[in-house]
Structure 1
């Protein structure tokens, strides 16, 4: 049986892929259309999700806060004008990086203690941080669905239960 952390991360990958596939069926300008929402466009929402997922992988790998923060700043400048296909490829590569982390991490319950300059030290474990990554992605996929509705398009169902049915 698959470890729960791997299961929830697989769901995250499935849901993002499903949303990318749906978005590619819509007019190309939907990706970067400016709207009044949590983020000014769907592309910027995905950019935020990608940077956050990258930050948390760095944290899981034990990188110090300042290194992760500096990397995120450079990354946001590098990817600010990505197309949907480029962003999808960035996520696919990041998914592979997470899978490599999982493959080499022998103890997925291992306690890790990231330090944040404002929030202090957090004693947590791999599963809890991966659960945060997944929850964060779910939240923003919901934002994207709302944004699509504002633009008069439907979303696609990415709830966990649909993942479970898809995996049957």
Structure 2
């Protein structure tokens, strides 16, 4: 099970690099333009993915929540956001590397955004983290098209695997 989640962590980092590279290509004005997306702009969408990942990682590490809301903006500076994204991807991989299958299957007790106590197996939380990021990267991919990028990068898992060959 750990190997599966490590592969997902690698894929997640790969997809994040590709979407951030494309976001850098369109420039700051397009990246931060409110286009009516749920989080306003492309950068808002990318920020939300990071904030959610940081919240879940804090829960997994039994640390205090770094944010009170899922729409917080820890930085408006794209390069700082990109660096934090890379740090988070590395932290996720390192966290999973330190788990065995029993720890992945074990339940975690945490508090949700409304401070309600919750209990879920770590495997569900990790699956959610990767699924959540994929969902919002799909939105970001569409936003890149809306913002004029002719060919946003393919992000499908087979392309990641083929890049490894």
Using the size of structure 2 for normalisation, the TM-score is: 0.83
Separation in 2, partners of 1:36, 1:93: 29
Separation in 1, partners of 2:67, 2:139: 22
Separation in 2, partners of 1:131, 1:4: 10
Q: Which residue of 2 aligns with 1:50?
A: 50
Contact 1:11–1:160 (Cα < 8 Å) also in 2: yes
Q: Which residue of 1 aligns with 2:86?
A: 92
1:113 to 87, 109, 114: 109
Tell me the matched-pair count. 160
- Mean Cα displacement is larger for which, 43-52 or 140-149? 140-149
| 1:144 is the counterpart of 2:140 | yes
For the aligned residue pairs, the C-alpha RMSD in angstroms reads 2.4
Separation in 2, partners of 1:27, 1:61: 35
Q: Which runs of 5+ in 2 are unaligned?
A: none
| 1:123 is the counterpart of 2:117 | no
Using the size of structure 1 for normalisation, the TM-score is: 0.82
2:128 to 105, 128, 132: 132
Separation in 1, partners of 2:31, 2:68: 22
| 1:82 is the counterpart of 2:74 | no
Distance 1:144 1:123, change over 3 A: closer
Q: Which runs of 5+ in 1 are unaligned?
A: none
Separation in 2, partners of 1:22, 1:3: 29
| Ranges of 4+ aligned residues in structure 1 off by more than 6 Å | none
